[in-house]
Amino acid sequence: MHPILKLVAQRLALSTMLLFAASVLIFAGTTILPGDVAQQILGQAATPENLANLRAELGLNEPALSRYFSWLGGVMQGDLGTALTNGRDIAESLGSRLGNTLFLAFWAAVISVPLAIFLGLLAVRYKDRWPDKLISGVTLTTISIPEFMIGYILIYWVSIKWGLFSSVAIINDSMSLGEKLNAIAIPVMVLTLVVLAHMMRMTRAAILNVMQSAYIETAELKGLGMLKIIRKHAFPNAVAPIVNVVMINLAYLVVGVVVVEVVFAYPGMGQYLVDHVAKRDVPVVQACGLIFAAVYIGLNLIADIVSILANPRLRHPK
């Protein structure tokens, strides 16, 4: 078998095992949560008999192992179950929520990825001079501040003081693209500031590492300009680590937006998850957790495959 196909097959098998392990951890974690949905539905005044009847009706009295395999079997057939609190199909409810989260993550990625790479290249071009120090200082400052704090600061200045964008990011299907972009402007700013430093610093470090290679010195001796050396020689050879960190941050934009969605009341999966954790609606929490895990593992798998394909020794084995 070709070395690339063999490595890709190994990564696929490993990702499948990781997803299975994640399903076990998610189910175990939700099983040991204190309280249950029966108590939440009936309230504190419920009698023990009523609680026992509702738990039996919802299947909460069955052994944990039996419930796990029943849940896993349903997931493998595309059935995420029904929410215990309202009886709605979870897959249908999650469809629009996942779409909203991906919409927010997409626009954050469209801005943050090119900006981070541009700033990384600029920092390399002016290494140890004031543009490099300014870029590093600003990005490290933004990553050191919690995202909810950045969100509240931007709400105060951008929304309240300057009146530019709405402080609440509520969107729906009847809104035009322009109205949606206006609504998510501040959350996109927050996410961009949060993920910018990781990608910028990795771009800077990867290119500086390549710049120490012998062929870069040869290019300098030939009289090539610094920008041309970075663009034609250094950047293409630093793509693999840059793609890795970009994918990890894209995964964060999808699975790590819970705090941002709650701060801006954004109708995405993070807000949906928080609402149902409070209600102890375990099937919804399990479904959200498994989707988040699948997205995270999937994007890391793509990063691994891109890194493998970017390795010339694997593409052209002797």
By the 8 A CB rule, do 243 and 306 touch? yes
Amino acid identity, position 287: A
Amino acid identity, position 54: L
Residue 47 has which token pair?
A: 């009698």
In the prediction, which pLDDT does 14 show? 92
Q: List per-residue pLDDT tens for the chain, 318 residues long.
A: 777 788 888 889 999 999 999 999 988 888 777 666 676 666 777 777 777 777 777 777 778 888 888 888 888 888 888 887 777 888 888 888 888 989 998 999 999 989 988 898 888 888 888 988 999 888 888 888 888 899 999 999 998 999 888 888 888 888 888 899 989 999 999 999 988 888 888 888 888 888 777 877 788 788 777 777 877 777 777 777 788 788 888 888 877 788 888 888 888 888 888 888 877 788 888 888 899 899 889 888 888 888 777 766 666 655
In the prediction, which pLDDT does 156 show? 92
In the prediction, which pLDDT does 308 show? 77
Nearest-CA neighbor of 163 among 185, 188, 133, 190?
A: 185
CA 61 to chain centre: 35
Gap between the Cα atoms of 175 and 148, Å rounded? 26
Greatest Cα-to-Cα distance within the chain, rounded to the nearest angstrom: 86
In the prediction, which pLDDT does 252 show? 81
Task: Please give the DSSP secondary-structure letter assigned to residue 156.
Answer: I
The model's pTM is 0.80
In the prediction, which pLDDT does 22 show? 92
Gap between the Cα atoms of 169 and 182, Å rounded? 9
- The torsion angles phi and psi of 254, rounded to 5 degrees, stand at -90, -45
Residue 179 has which token pair?
A: 């109205």
Gap between the Cα atoms of 288 and 240, Å rounded? 30
Gap between the Cα atoms of 243 and 213, Å rounded? 20
- The torsion angles phi and psi of 310, rounded to 5 degrees, stand at -80, -5
- As a residue count, the chain comes to 318
Close Cβ partners of 175 (under 8 Å, ≥ 6 residues apart): 183
In the prediction, which pLDDT does 197 show? 83
In the prediction, which pLDDT does 316 show? 64
Q: Which residues pair with residue 82 across a beta bridge? A: 89
